[in-house]
């Protein structure tokens, strides 16, 4: 479960539920300082930044494996999600795309096109 630092837990939970199809699992505090969202078997924690800043990863904050990547892409486009990079077939065997969440974190969604295949270049 990745834990992402956010500016406002309630607003970020709203983005993940309203735009990305997650379900709000739990929030703690008043106002909430920590929350958990889920979609299928994927769980992401949202933690309010302590110093008023939201640190961003150099690249992906999370990579979410999915099935039916093109259907998910169409679903998110219909909800007005802004894509950083549209679906692409990648050399590492996945078809994936990138979006930015409410706080600027880059989140990738990808489908493994060769499940079970070992020793692909670039993968451990």
Contact in structure between 68 and 111 (CB atoms under 8 Å): yes
Contact in structure between 95 and 88 (CB atoms under 8 Å): yes
Q: In which element (H, E) is residue 96 found? A: strand 94-100
**38: which 2 tokens?**
């889920």
Contact in structure between 16 and 27 (CB atoms under 8 Å): no
Q: Which of 7, 102, 1 is nearest to 54 (CA)?
A: 7
- pLDDT (tens digit per residue) in 93-106: 999 999 999 999 99
- pLDDT (tens digit per residue) in 51-85: 877 888 889 999 999 999 999 999 999 999 999 99
């Amino acid at each position: 479960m990745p834990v992402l630092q956010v500016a406002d837990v309630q607003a970020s939970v709203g983005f993940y539920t309203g735009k990305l199809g997650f379900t709000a699992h739990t929030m703690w505090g008043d106002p909430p300082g920590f929350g958990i969202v889920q979609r299928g078997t994927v769980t992401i924690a949202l933690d309010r930044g302590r110093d008023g800043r939201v640190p961003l990863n150099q690249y992906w904050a999370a990579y979410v494996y999915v099935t039916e990547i093109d259907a998910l892409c169409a679903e998110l486009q219909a909800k007005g999600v802004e894509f950083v990079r549209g679906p692409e077939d990648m050399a590492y065997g996945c078809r994936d795309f990138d979006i930015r969440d409410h706080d600027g974190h880059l989140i990738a969604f990808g489908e493994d096109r060769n499940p079970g295949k070992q020793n692909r270049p670039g993968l451990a």
